[in-house]
Amino acid sequence: MIQTDILIIGAGPTGLFAVFEAGLLQLKCHLIDALPQPGGQCAEIYPKKPIYDIPGFPEVLAGDLVENLMKQIEPFQPGFTLGERADTIEKLEDGSFIVTTNKGTQHKAPIVAIAGGLGSFEPRKPLLENIGKFEDNGVAYMIKDPEVYRDKKVVIAGGGDSALDWSIFLADVASEVTLVHRRNEFRGALDSVEKVQQLKNKGKINLITPGEIVALHGEAHLESVLVRKKTTAVEDIKLEVDHFIPLFGLSPKLGPISDWGLEIEKNAIKVNTFDYQTNVPGVYAIGDINTYPGKLKLILCGFHEATLMCQSAYQRIFPDKKYVMKYTTVGGVSGFDGSKKEAPKAVVKAIE
């Protein structure tokens, strides 16, 4: 069982910055995210788009913002459970919570901060009758650890950046990479399309277009797939494979959080604007996932909400300590250049 002070559901920009604000108050955080990497929408949807409304940054790429946030929270050593969706919450008699993921990982904390953005990103799955049987037995919808595919035969399906980028990457890892796309044109970046073409010419990627996977075969584990190639004539090709990775994109869903007994309005969690607590004491909702009069779905609003949430969480965890926040941060900040790992602190005067 993973134990922490603040359990943050969602490692988007809001959840990541909450770790910093909690760290200033010497509260430990652990983050759960359904995606295999931190960064939420910034990392998943628009890593190369510039953002112009982050204070102090006239322009910053979304991916770079995530990288900076990760650097900023490094001194506080947060824990991560990535590639798992928070599914259930249980309140214990002592007022703390246990949150369990779809993979059965349990987390215990006195405070739960939901920073789930648009909801958890769920993969779009191909309509293949027996695909469920092979999930985690040869079929995966996202790549968490590329080493799993070392010296294996892999088929990737899709026409966007993920399918192209992973095909390029795995060409040097897997023993055989086949990329199947239902059209001749790809939606991804032009230089990635060119790279795939070069790797095809070198015999490092087997490219099948236009085509689609129409059947999966195997006993307990996937053993082969049937690719239907649709040129002038239809041709069915049986490929012996160890892994099939359909990368058809992700769509966000509020998902299981909608059954947690929280007040929901238009797919968002209702909170007060004093400390962004929900109708369940000890459970907060910050960033894009919450709603209140005047709500704006912007990164800087998520940062503000995370800051106030942490102050309130501190008071819930230490109800007998009155404190006066004098300054925001002192010391240690120079450590952000990577030379020092000293954690910054807030000057908090705790009066027992």
Ligand X SMILES: Cc1cc2nc3c(=O)[nH]c(=O)nc-3n(C[C@H](O)[C@H](O)[C@H](O)COP(=O)(O)OP(=O)(O)OC[C@H]3O[C@@H](n4cnc5c(N)ncnc54)[C@H](O)[C@@H]3O)c2cc1C
Cite the annotated binding site for FAD by residue number.
14, 33, 41, 46, 86, 121, 288, 329
Residues 76 and 20: beta-carbon distance below 8 Å: yes
Cα 132 to Cα 119: distance, rounded to the nearest angstrom = 22
Give the residues across from 324 on adjacent strands: 349
Kindly state the smallest distance separating residue 207's Cβ from ligand X, in Å: 29
CB nearer to ligand X: give 168 or 289.
Answer: 289
Kindly state the smallest distance separating residue 284's Cβ from ligand X, in Å: 12
CB nearer to ligand X: give 72 or 209.
Answer: 72
Cα 151 to Cα 8: distance, rounded to the nearest angstrom = 36
Binding residues are: 14, 33, 41, 46, 86, 121, 288, 329
CB nearer to ligand X: give 119 or 158.
Answer: 119
Kindly state the smallest distance separating residue 68's Cβ from ligand X, in Å: 14
Distance of CA 115 to the CA centre of its chain: 11
State the pairing for strand pair 120-123/250-253: antiparallel
CB nearer to ligand X: give 63 or 332.
Answer: 63
Report which residue's Cβ sits closest to ligand X.
117
DSSP conformational letter for 75: G
CB nearer to ligand X: give 78 or 119.
Answer: 119
Cα 141 to Cα 126: distance, rounded to the nearest angstrom = 10
Cα 34 to Cα 203: distance, rounded to the nearest angstrom = 35
Geometric angle at alpha carbon 277, from 64 and 109, rounded to 5°: 75
Edge-to-edge strand list for the sheet holding 153-157: 206-208, 176-180, 153-157, 243-246
Q: Which residues bind ligand X (CB under 6 A)?
A: 9-15, 32-35, 40-42, 45-46, 49, 51, 53, 85-86, 115-121, 255, 257, 287-288, 297-300, 302
Kindly state the smallest distance separating residue 113's Cβ from ligand X, in Å: 11
Kindly state the smallest distance separating residue 304's Cβ from ligand X, in Å: 12
